[in-house]
Structure 1
């Protein structure tokens, strides 16, 4: 019998774990597959780790992976993918916003020959109009800048054939934007649209700061356009500065209004200073990411290795 590995990153989700586990068990009973359920505890400070250990002891389907600290959602997903050895691997969140009842449809598409089945979130129940607008604008900006197309509404709820998972493990970059990585890998892919329900319990752990970092990872990982725009901005500011110099010379030579020129000087200094700081900030962002990559530190550390470690 083929085995399906389900990878679920967990960060302070004690109110959701048991309900999610029961729903997964109920759904998988309706399929013709055995399954493994990998809970990746991402340094939770609540009772999540204890609940996962209890489920491990009661049900051999449950496998716990316990990160040494909070490494972030994308790294937690990576950890699960590194250890999942099923014939196909499904990644999803454990707050019920990725509906388990869609799993049979994912499996059906996989059986039809697709190696990646990506879910596309049409909307989320109860989400604010501001978040919808900023998300839509972000994907438009990203797709205009990146050299690959990233589907608007794409989520980390997807099925991947083990062939794709093994290829994914070869990607070692520190800044993880898995949606873009999977989309850029190729293979035979298809999509399923769904409406994300509200969380079963608790609140989202994806703070505005984390969302901003995630957005920057997506842009800097797949586009050097910000650096190119910095060059264009520098050339434009140089042209404007040259025109200002001509203006100052004209005032000095042909008029008697040279003394009050402090306003022109102040404006040009402020303009050039702003351009320079912006360009330095963009360059610094890329240099910071280069610095993180060249250190070649491990993406994550586990509190303890699983008993049956999988060869990668």
Structure 2
């Protein structure tokens, strides 16, 4: 079994996570490896990981050359995993290591993907719960791929699923959507996410917004189609406005026109900028893909690789 754990500035959490994860796998009668992926941490995280790899042959550490982001850090760990079952989870203990035996049990029952579903988060505020709920509603309305509301990157996948996943090499990734779309025999397990053991979340509002955009643009062309249909509607309204102006001119009605003109110009200009932005998001993703740069690169690899 391979346990993949992306970490970024988690010096206060790593050792506690290691203790809990080691305790959880102790009774499973499975060989295992814990692969920490350091995503360009600025604190003492790499030093702690180096010490753990020296103390325990089950621990490996992949030190990325810079910060590549959570999804690419997970991808890096999965690329290097050698287990028959691969578990991905965060290192802040909001993904409870105590659930590892439950995931393995479902895998032994024949499931290729065991996806956890977060029913609630102890330290999540009202606004975060509300935005998360509506994000999944909008995403599933736009996308042909169903994304389970409350889904997280805490899951188990079989080795053959990993082999398929490794063929997907896009840069802007939304892994929970990719795994949902990959098929195979899947099931879910629910859990309540506890508070972070220590430290603060590394997901700022900007990062969460980018992550949300990646989820929508990776699996849906609906925003582009909405732009097209709204463009048609705007064109129809413009034709009607021209007819109205010509009618006023022919009948000799005095029409100052300034208010109407300004409303139309502002409305059309705003819509054009919005939809140019939507198109720009897709073009930007095309630009990143055609450069064909590697998804990530390592500064160091610590620990013994499992056969």
Fold similarity call, TM over 0.5: yes
2:271: which partner in 1? 275
Quick one: distance in 1 between partners of 2:261 and 2:129? 43
The answer (yes or no) to whether the contact 1:142–1:218 under 8 Å persists in 2 is yes
- Change in CA separation of 1:62 and 1:308 when aligned onto 2, cut-off 3 Å: closer
Q: Deviations over 1:58-113 (max 9, x none)?
A: 11000000000000000000000000011100000011100011011100000000
TM-score by length of 1: 0.96
**Which ranges in structure 2 are unaligned for 5 or more consecutive residues?**
none
Aligned partner of 1:289 in structure 2 is 285
2:297 is matched with which residue?
A: 301
Q: Against the structure 1 CA distance between its residues 308 and 20, is the aligned structure 2 distance closer, same or farther, given a 3 Å change threshold?
A: closer
Task: Please give the secondary structure, in 2, of the residue aligned with 1:303.
Answer: strand
Name the TM-score, length of structure 2 as normaliser: 0.98
- The answer for unaligned runs of 5 or more in structure 1 is none
Following TM superposition, by how much is the alpha carbon of 1:255 offset from its aligned partner in structure 2, in angstroms? 3.0
Give secondary structure in 2 for the equivalent of 1:34: coil
CA distance in 2 between counterparts of 1:56 and 1:304 reads: 12
Bigger relative contact order (CA 8 A; separation at least 6) = 2
Deviations for 1:8-49, whole angstroms, at most 9, x for unmatched residues?
A: 000000000001001111111121111100000000000000
1:123 aligned to 2:112?
no
In structure 1, distance between residues paired with 2:267 and 2:300 = 54
* Structure 1 residues 306 and 171: alpha-carbon distance in aligned structure 2, compared to 1, 3 A threshold: farther
Following superposition, the deviation at residue 256 of structure 1 comes to: 3.1
Root mean square deviation, CA, Å? 1.3
Question: 1:43-54, aligned counterparts within 5 Å?
Answer: 43-54=40-51
How many residues align? The count is 307
Partner of 2:4: 7
- 1:97 equivalent in alignment to 2:94: yes
Structure 1 segments of 4+ aligned residues over 6 angstroms from their partners: 307-311
Deviations 1:207-249 (A, max 9, x none): 1100000000000000000000000111111111111111111
